[in-house]
């Protein structure tokens, strides 16, 4: 019997396919939205002819049941009363609006406002396993700039506030009034249905320290957790600390990651673990429940500023943040043991190596990929007014994945220059969230508009994470 190789046929088939049809890690997926980007400003949803002043996506979540994508956005306009609302846009995996969602003016969109006359400024979201959506938001008096409360709300699959949760769908979280910025991932859920909302609390001297409030599945604060529902920690000797990320172990223990300050010029990373009942877990880390990490050249330049944490299935903790290496701001990737006591010097950058993206990079979210690697997103900046979305791809060992953006100037890292119309790269364009959908990562954020000035529109980006047409080991032909 004559044997022949199938490889020439595969190569011939590839040769007959337009190059634009081949997937390439790090490239925008052309079939998603318009050349890989979906922009949505919620026009006409509040009322026919309505044009929002500003909208930006704070989260993108993949529905665990349907696989559809929910973009959660802050939508603001002085023509609305109150002046901001929760924007929901549900998309099919190809980036088209799901017209079966929404019952108002534009199919696929919803603008939600609660029964309270104060306005909600939404800042994060998380799907429950049953397909209901949790969102966190600051509460403002209309026309005021300082928040007066913080709420956790639950939204049904139909896009309405869940009346069985809290008070008509929302629960006030007064203990954490002075909470996080909108772009930080500080909402999580454990296997028993408890919901955790993180932030930081301001002391009388204006210092900030991390806190986590636990809410029961019915929306009531769990007063048996911590002190009246809040776990609150002040790292030993610190003059302040900010919580940047949070994760819940399968047994309910709580991991917190962020920046700790020891005076004006001494900043470091921290990882802290709390017990299931809201006490410091003294068996974690080398210092009574804490691991204070100096990343970079010296303590004066070791900071997270955004930062992200990924809890691995085996209990180890991957952390991503910023520091100075050789006087330049770089991204660090550091892996802690499951007990938080040791750092794996062979993984990622270690404590004295860094990823130089050519521009300063701020990381705000990271995720563990199905192939065992990692992806982190945020933005790269040149000056304060020039931001662009960025993705950094890592392999299982925390090293830059050279297959990602392999033909670009920075394999393993890709910056996506954005500008709405005039081609001058001077907008604040950024990604705040990341999720996985059909062999690509989906980023959520915003794009500044050139005209009118100081306005922004929500943005989803689909970045390919799979090469070629096959899934049988031939992806990198």
Nearest to 268 by CA among 249, 244, 232: 244
Expressed as residue numbers, the domain containing 232 is 26-464
Q: What 3-state DSSP class applies to 14?
A: helix
Most confident of 15-24, 49-58, 345-354: 345-354
CA distance 179 to 147: 9
Instruction: Kindly state whether residue 9 falls inside one of the protein's structural domains.
Output: no
The side-by-side arrangement of strands in the sheet containing 54-62 is: 54-62, 69-76, 84-91, 109-112
Residue 110's CATH number: 2.130.10.150
95 and 28 Cβ atoms separated by less than 8 Å: no
**pLDDT, mean over the chain:** 86
Cα–Cα nearest to 201, from 239, 227, 175, 236 = 175
Whether residue 11 lies inside any domain: the answer is no
Domain count, the chain: 1
What are residue 21's phi and psi, to 5 degrees? -90, -10
Tens digit of each residue's pLDDT (9 = 90 or more) over 448-474: 876 555 678 899 999 999 876 544 444
Does 469 reside within a domain?
Answer: no
Task: Tell whether 235 is covered by a domain.
Answer: yes
Residue 471 belongs to some domain of the structure: no
**Residue 54 counted as domain residue:** yes
Where is average pLDDT lowest: 8-17, 125-134, 460-469?
Answer: 8-17
Does an H or E element contain 12, and which? helix 7-15
- Report the range of poorest mean pLDDT among 274-278, 315-319, 444-448: 444-448
Once rounded to an integer, what is the mean pLDDT over residues 281-290? 94
Q: Tell me the average pLDDT across 188-213.
A: 87
Q: For the whole model, what pTM was predicted?
A: 0.90
Does residue 335 lie in a domain region? yes
Decide if pLDDT at 127 tops 60: yes
Which of 374, 388, 361, 273 has the alpha carbon at shortest distance from 319? 374
Give every CB contact of residue 10 below 8 A, 6+ residues apart in sequence: 470, 474, 477
For 375-418, how does the pLDDT look when each residue is reduced to its tens digit (9 = 90+)? 999 999 886 668 899 999 999 999 999 999 999 999 999 999 88
Within-domain flag for 371: yes
Element (H, E) at 15: helix 7-15
Cα 408 to the center of its chain, rounded Å: 25
Inter-residue contact 139 to 86 (CB < 8 Å): no
């Amino acid at each position: 019997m004559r044997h022949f190789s199938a490889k020439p046929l595969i190569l011939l088939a590839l040769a007959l396919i337009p190059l634009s049809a081949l997937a390439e890690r790090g490239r925008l997926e052309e079939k998603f939205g318009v050349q890989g980007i979906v922009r949505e400003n919620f026009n006409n949803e509040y009322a026919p002819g309505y044009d929002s002043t500003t909208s930006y996506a704070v989260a993108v979540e993949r529905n665990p049941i349907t696989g559809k994508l929910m973009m959660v956005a802050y939508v603001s306009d002085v023509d609305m009363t109150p002046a901001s609302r929760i924007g929901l846009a549900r998309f099919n995996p190809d980036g088209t609006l799901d017209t079966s969602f929404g019952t108002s003016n534009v199919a696929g969109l919803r603008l939600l406002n609660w029964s309270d006359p104060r306005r909600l400024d939404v800042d994060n979201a998380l799907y429950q396993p049953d397909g209901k959506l949790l969102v966190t938001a600051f509460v403002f008096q209309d026309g005021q700039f300082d928040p007066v409360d913080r709420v956790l709300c639950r939204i049904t699959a139909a896009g309405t506030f869940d009346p069985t949760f809290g008070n008509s769908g929302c629960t006030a979280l007064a203990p954490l009034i002075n909470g996080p910025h909108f772009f930080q991932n500080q909402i999580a859920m454990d296997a028993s249905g408890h919901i955790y909302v993180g932030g930081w609390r301001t002391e009388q001297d204006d210092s900030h320290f991390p806190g986590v409030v636990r809410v029961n599945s019915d929306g009531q604060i769990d007063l048996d957790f911590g002190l009246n529902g809040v776990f609150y920690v002040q790292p030993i000797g610190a003059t302040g600390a900010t919580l940047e990320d949070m994760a819940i172990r399968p047994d309910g223990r709580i991991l917190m990651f962020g920046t700790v300050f020891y005076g004006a010029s001494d900043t470091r990373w921290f990882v802290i673990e709390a017990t299931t009942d809201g006490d410091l877990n003294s068996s974690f880390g080398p210092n009574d429940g804490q691991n204070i990490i100096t990343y970079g050249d010296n303590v004066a330049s070791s900071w997270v500023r955004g930062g992200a944490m990924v809890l691995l299935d085996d209990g180890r903790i991957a952390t991503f943040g910023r520091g100075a290496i050789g006087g330049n701001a770089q991204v660090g990737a550091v892996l802690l043991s499951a007990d938080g006591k040791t750092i794996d010097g062979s993984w990622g950058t270690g404590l004295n190596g860094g990823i130089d993206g050519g521009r300063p990079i701020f990381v705000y979210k990271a995720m563990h990929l199905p192939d065992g690697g990692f992806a982190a997103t945020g933005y790269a900046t040149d000056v304060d007014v020039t931001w662009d979305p960025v993705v950094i791809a890592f392999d299982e060992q925390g090293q830059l994945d050279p297959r990602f953006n392999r033909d670009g100037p920075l394999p393993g890292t890709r910056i996506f220059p954005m500008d709405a119309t005039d081609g001058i790269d001077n907008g604040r364009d950024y990604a705040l969230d990341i999720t996985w959908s059909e062999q690509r990562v989906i980023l959520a954020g915003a794009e500044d508009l050139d005209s009118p000035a100081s306005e922004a529109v929500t943005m989803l980006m689909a970045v390919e994470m799979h090469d070629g047409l096959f899934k049988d080991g031939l992806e990198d032909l």
